[in-house]
Structure 1
Amino acid sequence: MLSFLRDGANLCTFAGLACGMLMMYLAFSGQLALAAAAGLWSGVFDSLDGVIARRSPRRSEALREFGGQLDSLVDAVCGGVAVAVLVLAAGDFHPAFLPVALVTIGAPVLRLAYFNVYGMQADYFIGAPIIYNLLVAATVTLFSPLLSDQGFAVTLAIAAILVATANVLPFRVPKFKGAGLRALVFVLVILSTVLIGISLNE
């Protein structure tokens, strides 16, 4: 099993998993802005692992298949579980937020299981890709200093439900390629930097 990590793309995916774990740890610790920033870095690695894979033409079929499954599982952890933990932490782990957390986890898992079975289109996604969950959670967290604690928790919960719903709706979303992918990575890095700055000023 460990031999599959002797691969640049899979290592990049695993680095994204580490960021997702850090996101959950920081959320449990009450450092929500830093948690959102860590989540965005999981998105950075998720954006780059495919680039690395495509630039590794000698990757075996086994590595490609394993990498696809690993990417899907890491997406479920980072874009589903970690975002749900952020929502719960924002709500001070009140039981009322448990249904929101279930939806936040359930929709990405349902989406990823579906595409693991039926495959994906070449040029577009069906429904909002999981990275949008991280982007939406981070964007709401960016404005948390302007909201009361309760207002932030409710806003984040509503946003999480909306983007989770978008994960499973049958509309087309263009895939990030070329300049679009570079722009996405730039936005993720800048937004994470701003969130770190907000955390340092708290």
Structure 2
Amino acid sequence: MTTTTEDVHTLQPAILSYVKDLPNLCSLAGLACTLSAIYFCIIGVYEAAMIGMIWAVAFDWADGLVARRMKGRTGNDRIFGGQLDLVIDIVSYGVTPAILLLSYGRFDPVFLPAAFIVIAASAIRLSYFSTYGLSDQSRYTGLAMDNNNIALVFIFLLEGVIPREIFAVLFYVSAVGLAVLNVSQIKTPKLSGNPRNVFLLAFYTLGITSIYSWKLL
């Protein structure tokens, strides 16, 4: 029995049918936070950008937590969700920090190499993870990408405390250092799967949000 082109199209679900999947909605909410962070980076409202960046991590962790607790998800649901998550991660943890770096450097060309390193490392890191997965059941090879945002929003608390020229160098070095760790051979724990770490991230997210909201006033 042959399968016609019409049959194949009938078997494939509609693209937007995956949007109603709750973990994917969490992923898209994280993407919305990332878009707001990019916007505020470009216009120079860095406090608001930091809030968007940390909430992107919170929603990223939430999608995995929800997906693990949901019943009835098919193999295709999991595959689609995993691919969506990877694509969003490149934007959230690669493109956004690179734009932040360029913006804070007033788009001086000297910041372009660092921005490229950050984006390239994220693409390489996530492609490697997509190919090989975890190095064992609980550890990654290389620093997981979500740690970039977690670290950068904390480092950015020093902005305004130390002179801008010194902080720009510190931030440049920090961003490149994190990119190097992303593609290194170090083994790091999978933090997002631990309920205790989820609680700590929630506390951290609310704390960071409060601090930067106060700085916005």
When normalised by structure 2's length, the TM-score is 0.89
Q: 1:153 aligns with which of 168, 171, 175?
A: 168
Deviates more, 1:72-81 or 1:150-159: 150-159
Which position in structure 1 is the counterpart of 2:8? none
C-alpha separation in 2, matches of 1:154 and 1:122: 37
What is the one-letter code of the residue matched to 1:56? Answer: M
| DSSP-derived class of the 1:173 partner | strand
Name 1:189's counterpart in structure 2: 206
Give SS of 1:198's match: helix
In 2, distance between residues paired with 1:157 and 1:189? 26
Structure with bigger gyration radius? 2
Write the distance in 1 (CA, Å) between the matches of 2:90 and 2:101: 15
State the one-letter code of the partner of 1:180.
N
Kindly state the Cα deviation for residue 193 of structure 1 after the two structures are TM-superposed.
2.1
Question: Which runs of 5 or more structure 2 residues have no equivalent in the other structure?
Answer: 1-14
User: Which runs of 4 or more aligned residues in structure 1 lie more than 6 Å from their structure 2 counterparts after TM superposition?
Assistant: none
SS of the aligned residue for 2:73 comes to coil
What RMSD over aligned residues (CA atoms) do the two structures have, in Å?
1.1
| Cα displacement (A) at 1:79 | 0.4
**Structure 1 residues 126-165: aligned runs within 5 Å:** 126-165=141-180
Distance 2:104 2:213 in 1: 17
| Percent of aligned pairs sharing the same letter | 34
Alignment of 1:22-101 (within 5 A): 22-101=36-115
Match of 1:5 in 2: 19
Matches within 5 A, 1:95-110: 95-110=109-124
Q: Which has the higher relative contact order, 1 or 2, with Cα contacts under 8 A spaced 6 or more apart?
A: 1
Q: Given the superposition, is the C-alpha separation of residues 199 and 152 from structure 1 closer, same or farther in structure 2, using an over 3 Å criterion?
A: farther
Unaligned runs of 5+ in 1: none
CA deviations on 1:2-44 (whole Å, 9 max, x unpaired) are: 1111110000011111111111000001001211111000000
The alpha-carbon deviation at position 152 of structure 1 amounts to 2.1
Instruction: Tell whether the 8 Å contact from 1:34 to 1:199 is kept in structure 2 after alignment.
Output: yes
Superposition TM-score, scaled by structure 1 size: 0.95
1:33–1:142 contact (8 Å) kept in structure 2: no
* Cα distance in 1 for residues equivalent to 2:26 and 2:128: 24
Deviates more, 1:176-185 or 1:62-71: 176-185
2:216 — aligned with what? 199
